Amino acid sequence: MHVPMQTSYDEDIRLFRHRVAALWYALLAAAVLAAPAILGDYHLLQLSLVAIYAIAGVGVMLLVGYAGQISLGHAAFLAAGAYGEAILRAEGWPFLLSLPAAGAAAGLLGLVLALSTSRLAGLYLAIATLAFAFIVEEVLTRWETLTGGSFGLMVGRITFGQVTIDAEWKFYYLAVGLLVLALLGALNLLRSRTGRALTAIRDSEISAQSLGVHPARYKALVLTISATLTGVAGALYAHRIQFITPDQFTILMSVELLVLVVVGGLGSLHGAVLGAIFIVVLPQIIVMLRDAFAISSAYQAGLDAGVYGLLMVLFMLYEPRGLHGRWVKVKLYLDIFPYYRKATFRRQRLFQKSERLR
Amino acid sequence: MQGLNDFGQMLLSGASIGCVYAIVALGFVLIYKASEVINFAQGDLMMLGAFLGYTFIGVLGMPFLVGVGLAMLCMGLVGAALDRVVLRPMVGQPVFAIVIITIGIGFVIRSVVIVTPGWGTETYTIAAPYAGGVSALGGVTVGNEHLAIIIAAIVLIAALYAFFRYTTLGLAMQATSQSQLAAYHVGIPVKTILSMIWAISAATAALVGVLLAPVTFVHVNMGFIGLKAFPAAVLGGFGSIPGAIVGGLIIGIVEALAGFYLPQGFKDVAAYVLLLVVLALRPQGLFGQTAAKKV
């Protein structure tokens, strides 16, 4: 078991808490780098999809998991990034400019939403984001001169000057590289004053306020950052699927992103990645189950919805900390064996907490 | 004169669809007031109720009113069961967790409807005895199915008002919604009351589902109308029953007017634009009550 012995305050905000962790991350990095040499194109495609979802997941995690603000409208930012990228690429912008621009477009949208909802919290914010996503979806469908309406838009390949991302492994490295940047950026943000302010707002807005944190300002900031990251993921997503229509960015996508962070584990960046793996692998498991039980594919839509819904309910009832939380528990169990107590992670009930009194 | 007539026509058809939003919103508000749970599955409960109504009336050939009553009864049981099995273990958990759970319940209900033999993703209709005819109200004509919705909404609201105002059970529910702890101390069985509120809420959802069937048909996606009822509930301030009704009517009428006077596409988002504007100006909704929290 590892017993932390801190000799300086810097150790609290160090990226790797101890050397063993750094070693494991190095091994993981080696595995990720070596993947194209071992895996076929199909699995690489799935892995780059995981990376894309994970980037969006980091964005949603910052907002939902760390700042505690519920969003039911992140599909709007994903759409903004995807359409921004598609349109700018069609205009002939180089990828190195169009990707940040697509992210910035989504971020701007997030800022607009944040400014118009800065006085909202909790339930009202969730519904405002839902309304916002519906409006964005409708605009995408109706503004046919720009977005092609429901006919959709073709998205070309990524090119850096002479280099074209035409093979699966190139796209994979690009997506994973951007994911690593997003993760490092989020880690750095979270160990700064801003990150601590965000968790303070999540835990109690009133206490945060009395400690000198300006809730509206930080909420606007985190929503903008979250939207930007989701927009970058959207841009990659557009390149990944090469053809985008407004009905890919409905409320179901928003719910999927929410499921991602919930199943992954709220309040941990590991959770964002684990959740992304889960979201990509789950449909394949459903198909496998379907074939195993010889269920007609006519029931596919119902099966999908049912498994998603059931998992959301079961995770919330039995493992609200998600996959990451389960891992932490298993690790602690092994670390302090045989002294693990069942009550270590017992949930606290907040009988006095009321949304109505703010 | 024609312009005025058009306006009246729009007002009436908007009011009838507004009544649907109002009743669904009422379902949200009842549950929210009593237990601070936001039931995102309300639209799907309505859809399930409509399918049950279709089965009783269309397939089993029961008389209309009996079928409606039976559908409401079944949905009441479903509502109470949901509260007992899924929501009760979540008492005292963060709002966020409960939001996710109710979204999940909605998905499960959709999946059950799709997988059930004889339901699936097809579109059905319920043969209501009054459907098809029109009534004239002073130069404005209105379809009987729209009129039925308006009348049912008025009756339902009056009945609920009387129930909450004059019966012991209704008063107990009011007390629970004001403070669960205090209600517990004066001997009100809070858990049973909560299950009953879920039952009432699900039963009203079934009623509105069946009433809506002649207008929009019975389909697995009809639950999305619940997403329009959200703006209605929020507009009225989530914890207020008169607010939900006024909010529903406002949304319905604004939508109808936007569909008539504005270019295509505005009809579908009018409710949400209105919602964002109201929230930006009055974060608590039009009728919301707030009190500052003591630290």
Listed in sequence order, the DSSP H helices in A204-299 are 205-210, 215-241, 251-264, 269-292
For A116, name the nearest residue in chain B, comparing CA atoms only: B280
B248 vs B270: CA distance, rounded Å: 13
Distances (CA, A) of A166 to A42, A113, A224, A236, A239: 15, 36, 32, 14, 11
* Nearest residue of A to residue B270, measured between CA atoms: A135
Residues B106-144 pLDDT 10s: 989 988 888 888 887 788 887 777 767 777 776 677 778
A171 has pLDDT over 70: yes
Q: Would you state the pLDDT for residue B290?
A: 54
In chain B the domains, ranked by start, together with CATH numbers, are 2-281 (1.10.3470)
Residue B153: name the closest of B54, B18, B251 by CA: B18
Q: By CA distance, what is A311's nearest residue in B?
A: B104
Query: Taking residues A130-138, what's their average pLDDT?
Result: 90
User: Residues of A261-274 as b/e, b for ≥16 C-beta within 10 angstroms?
Assistant: bbbbbbbbbbbbbb
* Beta strands per DSSP E along chain B: 134-137, 140-143
- DSSP assignment, residue B167? S
What pLDDT shows up at residue A237?
94
Mean pLDDT (whole number) for A62-83? 92
DSSP string, B42-54: HHHHHHHHHHHHI
Residue A357: predicted pLDDT = 43
Sign of the torsion formed by the C-alpha atoms of B27, B32, B35 and B40: positive
- As a whole number of Å, the CA-based R_g of chain A is 21
Q: If we measure between CA atoms, which residue out of B48, B139, B288 comes closest to residue A355?
A: B288
B115 and A302 within 8 Å at the Cβ level: the answer is yes
Sort B259 into a burial class: Cβ within 10 Å, 0-12 / 13-18 / 19+: middle
DSSP per-residue letters across B186-248: TT--HHHHHHHHHHHHHHHHHHHHHHHHHHH-B-GGGGGGHHHHHHHHHHT-TT-HHHHHHHH
From the list B33, B48, B120, the residue with the least C-alpha distance to B81 is B48
CATH of domain A41-342: 1.10.3470
Across chain A, what does the average pLDDT equal?
Answer: 86
Return the DSSP state at A244: E
Share of chain A above pLDDT 70, in %: 94
pLDDT category of residue B184 using cuts at 50, 70 and 90: confident
| Residue-level pLDDT at A155 | 84
Q: Is the pLDDT of residue A352 over 60?
A: no
Q: Is 70 exceeded by the pLDDT of residue A298?
A: no
B153: phi then psi, degrees, rounded to nearest 5: -60, -45
* Triad A56, A57, A62: Cα angle to 5°: 105
> Closest Cα of chain A to B34: distance in Å?
12
Reported as type and span, the H/E element at residue A164 is strand A163-164
Q: What percent of chain B has pLDDT over 90?
A: 15
Lowest-pLDDT choice from A41-50, A159-168, B180-189, B254-263: A159-168
Query: A279 to chain B nearest CA, in Å?
Result: 15
Which region among A296-300, A335-339, B167-171, B185-189 has the lowest average model confidence (pLDDT)? A296-300
CB pairs under 8 A between A and B: 164
DSSP one-letter code for B124: B
* Backbone torsions φ then ψ of B91, nearest 5 degrees: -60, 135
Is the pLDDT at A347 greater than 90, yes or no? Answer: no
Answer left, alpha or beta for residue A149, where phi above 0 means left and psi between -120 and 50 means alpha.
left
For the cut 80, the answer to whether the pLDDT of residue A331 exceeds it is: yes
Asked if A305 lies within 8 A of B108 by C-beta distance, the reply is yes
The lowest-confidence range among A153-157, A300-304, B31-35, B185-189 is A300-304
Distance separating alpha carbons of residues A281 and A272, to the nearest angstrom: 14
